[in-house]
Amino acid sequence: MIVKPGSEVEKMIFDFIEQRQLSLHHHKKKSDAEKEYNKLLANSGGEEKNFSLDQADKIYKAYQEILINEEQSKLAEDKYNQSYEKLKDLGRILFYANITADITMPSANGGGPVAKQVMVSFPNGEVFIA
């Protein structure tokens, strides 16, 4: 189910939280793929670097996962930074006041949407969401 925020400010907060989650998710997947790739290299070939076709295929697929998740991570990080800057601008507009909001986010495990109350504060011109 796709959750669509209502107001402009809600959309900014939603985008920030969503992009932060996506960035962390893809970074973790990239790290996991790197671990798998290194494990396959060490276990399959050792010092001799002789691989079977099946081993070479698994190593290649693990490497492709690294590249895919690295690209996804970069895209999510760019979008995260953009959403962060928008919230910083919002903080300046609101004279660094705090915002309390109920934000409906998609569930991390694929279930229905989850409403959570968040507090957005702007300490020292930065953005903090609790």
56 Cβ contact list (under 8 Å, min separation 6): none
* pLDDT value at residue 46: 65
Range of the domain at 21: 8-96
Choice between 52 and 119, residue whose per-residue pLDDT is larger: 119
Whole-number percent of the chain with pLDDT over 70: 92
The C-alpha atoms of residue 108 and residue 3 are separated, in whole angstroms, by 13
In a domain, 117, yes or no: no
Number of H helices, E strands in the chain: 2, 3
Q: pLDDT class for 105, splitting at 50, 70, 90?
A: confident
Residue 3 falls within a domain, yes or no? Answer: no
CA 108-109-112 angle, 5° bins: 85
Per the structure, how many domains does the chain have?
1
Q: Which positions ≥6 away from 114 have C-beta within 8 Å?
A: 104, 105, 106, 107
Q: pLDDT per residue over 59-82, tens digit each?
A: 999 999 999 999 999 999 999 999
The band of 124, judged by pLDDT with boundaries at 50, 70 and 90, is confident
